[in-house]
Amino acid sequence: MPAKERHYSPFWIPSLSMSELVKTTLDHESTDMLIDKWLEHRGSGHDAYHEWFLDVRERKHAASQRKQIIAWTKGEFVPENIFCRTVDTGRLIPLDRTWTTHVFHHRSMSDRKLSMMPVVFTMLPELMLLRGMHDSGCDEVYVIVTDLKRQEMDDVTDYFKMVCRHSYGRTQLKPSMEQRIQFEHMRLSHTLVRQRRTPCFPQIDLTFRALLYEKRPRFLVLFSHQTTSYSQIFFTHPSFVPDEDIFYDYPTGCPNPCCTEDCEMIRFPRRGLGNAAILDVKRGGKKFGRKIRAKQMCNWIECDVCFFEESLPSSSSSSSSSSSAGGSENGDRPLGQVCSKCRLVRYCSREHQKLDWPEHQRVCAKVAFV
C-alpha cells in the first residue's frame, strides 16, 4: 500500500519535506566573504560595534574557567583576535570560525532573483557571536525570512513560546490548551492573510517547528525585512542565552544614533534571560536528542578530556541550581592545569598546552581580575 499522505496540523509533528518555502544555502566561503566585507565597513571610531568591542576590551574578567567572557587583548579588530568562552565545553575559542546558513523564504523572492546575502549581512555580528558561543551544534544556522511588522512579530513570538511549552513532544493536550492554541493559530493566520504577509503563518509555523524537531538547533532566527519591525532570535535552552553582564550595552543595530533601546533591528537579549525568547524544548531519549550538559574541557580543540560535567535544567524546570537537576559528575576526572598567565583556560597536559599555543597566544595576557 502507498504511504499515507501527511497533512499539516498545528498539533502534529511536521516535516521539512512538507514546507513550501524555498531554501537558499550560504556556505562557509560565502560567510567568509561577508565577514571580509563587514570588516571593510567596520572598525572606524564612529562604528557602534567597534566601540562596543573596544569597551569590552577594557573590562576586567572574572577569574573563572566557566563564566561567559569576550576576550580581546591583542592585535587589530579581526575575528581571529577576539575570543569567546563556549557555553557547552568552556573553551576559549576565536570568532573566526565560519558556518553554513540555511535561509527559508517565500518563492516570490526567488522569482525576483533577490539574494539572501543581505539577510545574513544584516545580522552578521550577532551570528558571529552566537556561533562563537558554541563549540559544536552551530555549524549550521537556520533563518526564516518574513515581512512581519513589530506587533505581528511579538504575537508570533508569544505563540511559539506557548506551543513549545505546552505541546512540544506531547501527543495529548488538555482540551482548554488545545482550544487556545487553535484559536491563536487561526487569529495569526487570518491577520497575516489580511495584511498580505508572505509567507503565510501556516508555512512559518510548519517550517519553524520542523526545524526544531529535525535539526535541533541551538538557536533559530525569524527575520523580518520590515523597517519598522525587528528580527527575533529564539533560543532552545536558557544556557544558550548571552550573559547580560557582558551584553547589557550591546548595540541595537539601528544606524540612527538618536534612536532609543526599543528601536532595534535584531532582538538581541541584552538583558540575558530577562528579555530572551526561550523555547521550552523537550530533550532526552532517541526522539528528542541528548539533554543539555555543561562541560569544562581541555582547551586544545582536538582533545576530549573533560574536567567537569553537569546536567542543566530546561526552562520548564524549577529555578534551583543546575546541580539539583542532575548534579555535577566529577568522579575521578583530572583537575587539569590552568594557564598561569591568563588563568582563563585549562589543559589536561603540557603537551596539549603547547599544541594550543599558536592560537591561544593571540589572547593570552596577564590581566587584572575582578
Q: Torsions phi, psi of 131, nearest 5?
A: -65, -40
For the cut 60, the answer to whether the pLDDT of residue 328 exceeds it is no
With a cut of 60, say whether residue 109 has pLDDT above it: yes
CA-CA distance, 39 to 49, in Å (whole number)? 11
322 confidence band (pLDDT: 50, 70, 90): very low
User: Any idea what DSSP says for residue 324?
Assistant: G
Give every CB contact of residue 198 below 8 A, 6+ residues apart in sequence.
Answer: 106, 108, 146, 147
Which residues make beta-bridge pairs with 328? Answer: 310
Asked which of 67-71, 143-147, 191-195 is least confident by mean pLDDT, the reply is 67-71
- The answer on pLDDT for 1 being more than 70 is no
* Among 156, 164, 131, 140, CA closest to 231: 156
CA distance 52 to 214: 36
pLDDT at site 61: 58
Question: Quick one: which of 322, 143, 173, 129 has its CA closest to 237?
Answer: 322
Return the percentage of the chain with pLDDT > 90, whole number. Answer: 63
For the CA atoms of 125, 146, 137, 246, the dihedral, rounded to the nearest 10 degrees, stands at: 40
Distance set, CA 328 to CA 173, 255, 307 (Å): 34, 45, 11
Query: To the nearest whole number, what is the mean pLDDT of the chain?
Result: 86
Specify the pTM: 0.90
Ordered DSSP codes for 168-212: TT-S---HHHHHHHHHHHHHHHHHHHHTT-SS-HHHHHHHHHHHH
**Which of these ranges, 76-85, 115-124, 147-156, 316-325, has the smallest mean pLDDT?**
316-325
Grid cell digits, residue 119 = 539577510
> What's the confidence (pLDDT) of residue 101?
97
What local confidence, expressed as pLDDT, does residue 79 receive?
Answer: 94
Task: Give the least confident one: 15-19, 52-56, 194-198, 206-210.
Answer: 52-56
pLDDT tens for residues 35-79?
A: 999 988 764 544 888 889 989 888 765 555 568 899 999 999 999
Using an 8 Å Cβ cutoff, are 157 and 143 in contact? Answer: no
DSSP letter, residue 340? T
β strands within 31-95, DSSP E:
70-71, 83-85, 92-94
Tell me the pairing of strands 219-224 and 140-146. Answer: parallel
Does residue 7 or residue 149 have the better pLDDT?
149
**Amino acid at site 220:** L
Residue 262 has a pLDDT of: 63
Tell me which residue of 106, 142, 137 sits closest to 22, measured CA to CA. Answer: 106
Confidence band of 323 (pLDDT split at 50, 70, 90): very low
Kindly report the CA angle at 348 between 345 and 354, in degrees rounded to 5?
A: 75
Query: Which grid cell is 218?
Result: 541551538
Instruction: Convert the pLDDT of each residue in 247-294 to its tens digit.
Output: 999 987 766 656 665 667 888 999 999 899 999 987 655 556 677 888
Structure confidence at residue 60 (pLDDT): 66
Answer yes or no: is pLDDT of 104 > 50.
yes
**For residues 119-129, average pLDDT:** 94
CA separation (Å) from 51 to 77, 117, 249? Answer: 11, 25, 11
The DSSP H or E segment spanning 164 is helix 150-166
Secondary structure letter of residue 44 according to DSSP: S
